[in-house]
Chain A
Amino acid sequence: MNPLLLQNELNRRAFLCRAGATVGTAAFADLLASRIFAASPAPAKSDRWPGVVRPFHHPPKARRVIQLYMAGGPSHLETFDPKPHLAKLHGEPMPESITAGQPIAQLQGNKALKCFGPQWEFKKAGQSGQEISEIFPKLAEHADELAIVRSMHTEAINHDPAHTYMNTGTLISGRPSFGSWLLYGLGSECEDLPGFVVLLSTGKFGQSQPVSARQWASGFLPTKFTGVELRSKGDPVLYVKNPRGIAPGQQEDVVRAVQKLNQLQNAVVDDPEIATRISQYEMAFRMQASVPDLMDISKEPASALDLYGAKPGDGSFASNALLARRLAERGVRFIQLYHRDWDHHGSIKDHVRGTAAEVDQPMAALLTDLKQRDMLKDTLILWNGEFGRTPMAQGNGRDHHQKAFSIWLAGGGVKGGVTYGATDDFGYHATVDRMHVNDLHATMLHLLGIDHTRLNFKFQGLDMRLTNVAGEVVKPLLA
Chain B
Amino acid sequence: MTGWSKLACPAAFVLFLAPDAEGAAAKTSPANAATNWWSLKPIVRPVVPILRNSKTEIRNPIDAFIVSKLREKGLSPSPEADARTLIRRLHFGLVGLPPAPEDVEEFASTFPASPRPSVPASSAKDAETRRHGDAAIERLVDRLLASPRHGERWARHWLDVARFAETHGHDQDRVRENAWPYRDYVIESLNADKPWARFVQEQVAADALFPGEPRLIPALGFLAAGPWDESSLRDIREDTLDREIGRYLDRDDIVTAVMSAFASSSVHCARCHDHKFDPIPQRDYYSLQAVFAGVEKANRAFDPDPAISKRRADLRAKVVALEKREPAFMEALLTPAMQADVEAWLARELAAARLIVWTTLTPESVTSLNGSKLVPHPDGSVLATGGRPEKDTYTFVAATELRGITGVRLEVLTDDSLPKKGPGRQDNGNLHLTEFKAGAAPQSGGEPRAIAFQNPLADFNQQGWTIQHALDNKPATAWGIYPEVGKSHQAVFEFAAPLANTTASRITFVLEQLHGGGHLIGRFRISVTTAPRPLSLPVLPDALARLASTPPADRTPAQRQELAAHWLKEKLTRELAAMPKPQLVFAAASDFEPDGSHKPPMGPRPVHMLRRGEIGRKLDPASPGALDCVAALPARFDLAAEPDESARRASLALWLTDPQNPLVWRSIVNRVWQHHFGRGLVDTPNDFGRMGSLPTHPDLLDWLAAEFRDRGGSLKWLHRIIVTSAAYRQASNCEPALSGAAAVRLTRNSKLTHGTMDADNRLLWRQNRTRLDAECVRDAMLSVSGQLDLTTGGPSARHFALGPGIHVTPTVEYSKFDWDSPAGRRRSVYRFVFRTLPDPFMEALDFADTSVSTPARAESNTPLQALAVWNNDFVLRQSEHFAARLERETQGTGARVKRAFALALNRAPTPAEIADFVPYIEQHGLAAFCRLLFNSSEFLFIN
Interface residues of A (CB under 8 A from B): 7, 11-26, 28-30, 32-34, 36-37, 101-106, 108-109, 155, 157-160, 165, 169-174, 194, 207-210, 212-214, 217, 222-224, 226, 228, 237-243, 246, 250, 253-255, 257-258, 261-262, 265-266, 268-269, 271, 273-274, 276-277, 280-281, 283-285, 287-288, 434-436, 438-439, 460-465, 468-472, 474
Contact = CB atoms under 8 A, between A and B. Distances in A.
B84 interface: yes
A227 B181 CA distance: 36
B862 A223 contact: yes
A19 B867 CA distance: 34
Contact of B937 (A172, A194, A274, A284): A274
B876 A469 contact: no
Contact of B7 (A22, A160, A470): A470
6 contacts: A209-B806, A214-B849, A238-B868, A246-B928, A268-B733, A438-B4
Given A280-B862, A438-B4, 4 more contacts: A37-B916, A241-B871, A460-B687, A469-B14
Contacts of A262: 936-937
Give the interface centre of B5, B679, B861 by most chain A CB atoms within 10 Å: B861
B910 A22 contact: no
A33 B231 contact: no
Interface string B864-884: 111110111100100000000
B771 interface: yes
B591 interface: no
A155 B272 CA distance: 14
Contacts of A254: 870, 924, 928, 931-932, 935
B870 A239 contact: yes
Nearest to B81: A25
Contacts of B575: none
B759 interface: yes
Contacts of A465: 18
B858 interface: yes
B860 A213 contact: no
B124 to A, nearest CB: 26
Nearest to A286: B863
Contact of A33 (B840, B851, B866, B916): B916
Contact of A19 (B18, B753, B932): B753
B32 interface: no
B912 A34 contact: yes
A11 B759 contact: yes
Nearest to B928: A254
Interface stretch (B232-240, B308-316, B481-489): B232-240
B868 A213 contact: no
A276 to B, nearest CB: 5
Contact of B616 (A18, A101, A461): A101
B842 to A, nearest CB: 12
A280 B865 contact: yes
Contacts of A217: 849
Contacts of A243: 871, 873, 876
User: What range describes how many residues of B lie at the interface?
Assistant: 35 or more
A271 B687 contact: no
Given A214-B849, A472-B3, A250 B928 contact: yes
Given A160-B170, A240-B871, A261 B936 contact: yes
Contacts of A28: 733
B114 A24 contact: yes
B82 A24 contact: yes
B851 A214 contact: yes
A173 B851 contact: yes
A335 to B, nearest CB: 17
B287 interface: no
B365 to A, nearest CB: 31
A105 B231 CA distance: 9
Contacts of A438: 4, 11
B735 A158 contact: no
A244 to B, nearest CB: 9
A63 B690 CA distance: 39
Contact of A273 (B20, B231, B753, B861): B861
A280 B863 CA distance: 5
B543 to A, nearest CB: 34
Interface of B: 1-5, 7, 10-12, 14-15, 17-20, 22-23, 79, 82, 84-85, 114-115, 170-171, 229, 231-232, 235-237, 240-242, 245, 615-616, 678-679, 684, 687, 690-693, 731-735, 737, 753-756, 759-761, 766, 768-769, 771, 805-807, 809, 836-838, 840, 843-844, 846, 849, 851-852, 858-868, 870-873, 876, 907, 909-910, 912-913, 916-917, 920, 923-924, 928, 931-932, 935-938
Nearest to A465: B18
A238 B851 contact: no
A460 B11 contact: no
A105 B766 CA distance: 55
Give the interface centre of A11, A23, A169, A210 by most chain B CB atoms within 10 Å: A210
A288 B870 CA distance: 12
Contacts of A257: 920, 932
Given A16-B759, A18-B735, A254-B924, A106 B235 contact: yes
A479 B322 CA distance: 78
B82 A462 contact: no
Closest 5 CB pairs of A and B: A223-B860, A33-B913, A284-B866, A239-B871, A284-B863
Given A33-B909, A104-B242, A287-B867, A462 B23 contact: yes
Contact of B733 (A17, A30, A238, A253): A17
A435 B12 CA distance: 17
A210 B834 CA distance: 13
Nearest to B692: A460
Nearest to A249: B924
B862 A460 contact: no
A271 B693 CA distance: 25
B761 A15 contact: yes
Given A105-B242, A271-B769, A11 B760 contact: yes
Contacts of B937: 261-262, 265-266, 274, 277
A265 B938 CA distance: 8
B247 to A, nearest CB: 13
A228 B679 CA distance: 28
Nearest to A218: B860
A238 B867 contact: yes
B15 A223 contact: no
Contacts of B938: 261, 265
B926 to A, nearest CB: 13
B867 A284 contact: yes
Give the interface centre of B684, B733, B917 by most chain A CB atoms within 10 Å: B733
Contacts of B231: 106, 158
A103 B237 CA distance: 13
A36 B916 contact: yes
A435 B1 contact: yes
Contacts of B240: 104, 108
B288 to A, nearest CB: 19
A109 B240 CA distance: 10
B932 A30 contact: no
Contacts of B863: 194, 228, 280-281, 283-284, 287
B619 to A, nearest CB: 16
Contacts of B753: 19
A258 B936 contact: yes
